Amino acid sequence: MKIVLPSALSDWVKTNRDLDHQELVREQFFAHFPGFEAQYTLHCSDRILINLLRTKLSQNEEIMPIINQHIGPALQYYWSDSKAWHFLDWENDTTGIISRAAASIFVGPEKATDPEWQNIVQSYVREFFAAAGELSGWKVPLRPIVQWVLPHASACRDLRRQACNVMENVVQRRIQEAKAAEAQGAAVPQYNDVVDWTMQISENNHSAGDIQLALAMAALFTTSEIFRQILIDIARHSELLEPLRQEIKKALADHDLGLAALAKMELLDSVMKESQRQIPISVGLERKVIRETSLPNGTILPKGSHIMVDSSDMWNPNIHENPEVFDGYRFMKRRHAGDKSSQFVQSSQGHNVFGGGRHICPGRFFATTELKLCLVHILFKYDFRLESGYSSSPVQSGVYAAVDPKVRLEIRRREGPEDCPL
Ligand code: HEM
């Protein structure tokens, strides 16, 4: 049972300390069951991972060249260099790019390109969400029993064990490597990734495997979904291709690869945000009431209840002119007109895709960087189009929505000289 509040209460929800996001997620996604430890790690009250994402992963220019280096090989692996038109294996070849780009910073050089590791994390995310759905179908008192035999929950336990083993080896190897370097008076190898950052936090009690799975869970599906929608929208609006390429070329000619160059990609940013509007989620800002509280009009929200906030402002004609039309320039125009919340990374009362308040998504800067870098490579290296006559639309599932899972997207490596500015 969910209580849906109007969007006018969005700021009230964001600032109310009697409402909590983490407790909601821990409860809704069974963080206390074996195999689901990563969910506990992600939403743990110690906030170790969240603080790390805020301090190390957000707006960190040093990680950009590392992500960038991984995108080219990932595209060759999943999208190929073939100059003949061919169809993408939609879910696999889109999730794969995002997963490998993210892994360059999450897991680091030893495992980022390892197909076996990629298989573990991607499978875990799939199994985890399937397990959550599977368990929700059972009555609450039976869940602690049936989770031992349900297929997706069992797969989670198995994959988690594998992930923890792999990561324990990575951590041990790094410790040995550092010891050997110190013994020889040599410089200790330096890493710029989550494995290294978490090894430096003395109070961290989460296993390296759970940390990796937690990151994959938060980052993989969310970023891959919007990536897929952006590809669909650009394929449908090929008139955007040249302006996008021109803007990117100029941004990278005026600035080195870094935050300033990405900030100059305003049209790309606007297209990305407009693509978020194409996924018709009905609600955002989900919270659990941890102490009884009252709405501004005096209505009591009982302790333990779950609330959501209506997202329909994203398609409200009083807010967006022709809201049903895809306009890649929409948010760029708003930005130039002085709207301070029109960037992809920003959250506002009318556009809560990254949530808000103290729980606002701490990975949104990273997601923006990753998406922009992937799209730069793709826009310069590939032609892409929807299968002739194919009309794509999202799939609605209750209050949630998913990008069309069956898209027929054709790609080919572009002809002519290599002009990718990255
Ligand atoms: C486009 C991609 C993404 C979307 C749309 C998204 C969306 C969200 C949303 C809606 C929330 C809940 C915020 C709230 O209710 O106030 C959230 C929380 C969170 N996200 Fe993201 N996210 C994305 C990418 C990422 C990435 C790449 C990471 C990690 C690197 C990440 C890590 C997290 C974490 C740790 C939280 C929990 C924050 C808390 O409970 O305080 N997300 N995200």
User: Beta-carbon neighbour count of residue 151 at 10 Å?
Assistant: 11
Tell me what pLDDT residue 419 has.
80
Q: Is 318 exposed, middle or buried (0-12, 13-18, 19+ CB in 10 A)?
A: exposed
Domain boundaries, the chain: 2-413
DSSP 8-state secondary structure symbol assigned to residue 26 = H
Q: Tell me which amino acid residue 19 is.
A: L
Beta-carbon-side half-sphere exposure of residue 107 (alpha carbons within 13 Å): 29
pLDDT in tens, the chain (422 residues): 899 999 999 999 999 999 999 999 999 999 999 999 999 999 998 999 999 999 999 989 999 999 999 999 999 999 999 999 999 999 999 999 999 999 999 999 999 999 999 999 999 999 999 999 999 999 999 999 999 999 999 999 999 999 999 999 999 999 999 999 999 999 999 999 999 999 999 999 999 999 999 999 999 999 999 999 999 999 999 999 999 999 999 999 999 899 999 999 999 999 999 999 999 899 989 999 999 999 999 999 999 999 999 999 999 999 999 999 999 999 999 999 999 999 999 999 889 999 999 999 999 999 999 999 999 999 999 999 999 999 999 999 888 999 999 999 999 999 865 688 88
Task: Tell me which of 125, 198, 222, 365 to substitute to probe ligand 1's pocket, judged by most ligand atoms within 8 Å of the beta carbon.
Answer: 222
Phi, psi of 396 (to 5 degrees): -90, 135
Residue burial 86-110, b: 16+ Cβ < 10 Å; e: rest: eebebbebbbbbbbbbbbbbbbbbb
What confidence score (pLDDT) does residue 418 get?
A: 66
Report whether residue 285 contacts ligand 1, using a CB cutoff of 6 Å: yes
Options 1.25.40.10, 3.20.10.10, 1.10.3470.10, 1.10.630.10; CATH for 2-413 is 1.10.630.10
Q: Is the CB of 362 under 6 A from ligand 1?
A: yes
How far apart are alpha carbons 255 and 64 in whole angstroms? Answer: 13
| pLDDT tens sequence across 235-290 | 999 999 999 999 999 999 999 899 999 999 999 999 999 999 999 899 989 999 99
User: Is the CB of residue 385 less than 8 Å from the CB of residue 87?
Assistant: no
SS3 280: coil
Report whether residue 283 contacts ligand 1, using a CB cutoff of 6 Å: no
DSSP 337-391: TT-TT-STT--BTTB-TT--GGGS-TTHHHHHHHHHHHHHHHHHHEEEEEPTT--
Cα–Cα distances (Å) from 205 to 41, 56, 106, 276, 301, in that order, read 9, 19, 18, 36, 35
Tokens coding 394? 């999202």
CA dihedral 255, 371, 155, 32 (to 10 degrees): 80
Mean pLDDT estimate for the chain: 95
CA 74 / ligand 1 centre spacing (Å): 24
Q: What is the pTM assigned to this prediction?
A: 0.96
User: Measured from the CB, is residue 105 less than 6 Å from ligand 1?
Assistant: no
Nearest-angstrom CA–CA distance, 80 and 379:
15
Query: Which residue has the least CA distance to atom 38 on ligand 1?
Result: 359
Pocket-testing residue among 17, 42, 354, ligand 1, by greatest number of atoms within 8 A of Cβ: 354
What pLDDT is stored for residue 420 in this prediction? 83
User: Coil, strand, or helix at residue 284?
Assistant: strand
220-233 pLDDT tens trace: 999 999 999 999 99
Backbone torsions φ then ψ of 344, nearest 5 degrees? -50, -40
Token digits of residue 235: 């394929």
Q: How many other CB atoms are found less than 10 A from the CB of residue 254?
A: 10
| Residues forming beta bridges with residue 20, ordered by sequence position | 288
Contacts 24+ apart (CB under 8 A), 20-29: 20/287, 20/288, 20/290, 20/359, 21/286, 21/287, 21/288, 21/355, 21/359, 22/359, 23/288, 23/290, 24/286, 24/287, 24/288, 24/306, 27/288, 28/132, 28/306, 29/128, 29/132
Contact 286, 306 (CB under 8 A): yes
- Give the percent of the chain with pLDDT over 90: 94
Residue with CA at minimum distance from ligand 1 atom 28: 363
Residue 172 CA to ligand 1 centre (angstroms): 30
**Residue 59's pLDDT is what?**
85
Atom of ligand 1 nearest to the CA of 106: 30
What pLDDT was estimated at residue 195? 97
